[in-house]
Amino acid sequence: MCNSPNFHGHNYNLDVSVEGEIDPETGFVLDIAKLKLIVTECLVRHLDHKNLNLDVPWFRELSPTAENIAVVSWRVLAPAVAPARLAHIRLWETERNYVDYDGK
């Protein structure tokens, strides 16, 4: 938890990589527009402009560190991208600080 009584904000960036079989009809593992929609609907809408400590049930009992946000993001997105498989998440906290997570 932040030392400031009013907390502080971050502008995170999230890189999401998927893998799997290429659909012979579309040429995609997962259409990038569909992936963007999945990330927005399943994850971003729950986190954007929210106090993660107070407003987001995923973090009521879990500190919203970049590492924990990456793990929660994985848990939310992995089933949502099926039949593709989530391969890698990189969560950028700043332009120099990021967390990589691959589900392990």
Among all residues, which ones are annotated catalytic? 2, 49, 93
**Sign of the alpha-carbon torsion through 88, 95, 57, 53:** positive
First vs last Cα of the chain: how many Å apart?
A: 25
Q: What gap in Å lies between CA 69 and CA 9, rounded to an integer?
A: 14
